[in-house]
Amino acid sequence: MPGLRKMVREGTGLLAVFSILPRVEMIEAIAIAGFDAVIIDLEHGPIEVGDLPQLTLTARAHGLSSIVRVRENNPSLIGSALDAGANGVLVPQVGSRREAEAVVAAARFAPEGARGANPWVRAAAFQGGPDWFAAANESVAILVTIEGTDGIASARSIIETPGLDGVFIGPVDLSNSLGVPGQIDHPLVVAKSSEVIDLARERSMAVAMFAPTPDGARKWLARGVTMAVVGVDAGHLVAALSDIRKRASNEQGGLATTVEEEERT
């Protein structure tokens, strides 16, 4: 089994980051920083399918795996993301086994699924090769998100969906569904997330978790997740810029005072 599918299924300690900025430079920065994968986020970012060829091509040129989070569980969105060159797909808000089966059907060609077939797309190098369908089935990684009380209740049967490569836990939406909005470290969110991790790992299923900070990522990796998705590119940019501005203006005192004093003399 080649490609991202193998990496997701067999890898541990994997690090990814969400990208909501549709720029090749951002994808390059994520690759240069050494992440294993980028999740290009069409659910929350102003990114369209037409942006995907250059974004996924840039990732590939840097040896960075690309996963596209589609807006919703919809076969045409899943097929378009894969045709454009994504190595894998992540589908938000999956609440039942039936929904998870629909994701697998949309992402795998027959006989494993019912993905719309056209071997002249970018992902197939535009060449119409008949071997591409089987190769794509072997390498494309399929992840579904458990982030609602419905998904938690059906976690066991979702995890056992044939053809699925991994589950992703979304603590932000989960905190909202559990009535503690935004409190991703709330004991209820932690307990429900831990249940999903245990169910997945008992079945040797890959499990990814969103954590906005490096400390959170390390904590969840130690708790058993196989991939941590550490924050969002735009958020990291703002945090880094704020820190640089604060340190350059020396808000804790020092440099600014010295300059003012110099001006007075």
Tokens representing 27? Answer: 């994808």
* Cβ proximity to ligand 3PY, 83 vs 173, nearer residue: 173
Distances (CA, A) of 95 to 99, 167, 177: 7, 12, 12
- In sequence order, which residues have a C-beta less than 8 Å from that of residue 137 and are 6 or more positions away? 108, 109, 112, 113
Q: Which of the residues 171 through 190 are near Mg ion (CB under 5 A)?
A: 173
40-74 as b/e: b if 16+ CB within 10 A: bbbbebebeeebbeebbbbbeeeebbbbbbbeebe
Does 170 help bind ligand 3PY (rule: CB under 6 A)? yes
Q: Which of 122-130, 132-140, 165-173, 200-208 is the region at the interface with ligand 3PY (rule: CB under 6 A)?
A: 165-173
Residue from the set 105, 135, 153, 172 that interacts with ligand 3PY by CB under 6 A: 172
Point out the residue whose Cβ comes nearest to ligand 3PY. Answer: 170
Nearest approach, Cβ of 100 to ligand 3PY (angstroms)? 16
Does 148 help bind ligand 3PY (rule: CB under 6 A)? no
Does 45 help bind ligand 3PY (rule: CB under 6 A)? no
Does 233 help bind ligand 3PY (rule: CB under 6 A)? no
Q: Which of 121-129, 141-149, 180-188, 243-251 is the region at the interface with Mg ion (rule: CB under 5 A)?
A: 141-149
* Cβ proximity to Mg ion, 90 vs 136, nearer residue: 90
Residue from the set 119, 148, 171, 231 that interacts with ligand 3PY by CB under 6 A: 171
* Cβ proximity to Mg ion, 151 vs 170, nearer residue: 170
Residue from the set 45, 95, 170, 231 that interacts with Mg ion by CB under 5 A: 170
Tokens representing 165? Answer: 């490569």
* Catalytic annotation present for 62: no
Does 210 help bind ligand 3PY (rule: CB under 6 A)? yes
Does 147 help bind ligand 3PY (rule: CB under 6 A)? yes
Residue 64, Cα to own-chain centre: how many angstroms? 13
Cis peptide before 111 (omega within 30 of 0): yes
The size of the interface with Mg ion (CB under 5 A), counted in residues, is 3
Does 220 help bind ligand 3PY (rule: CB under 6 A)? no
Catalytic residue set: 44
Residue ranges in contact with ligand 3PY by CB under 6 A: 18, 145, 147, 170-173, 210
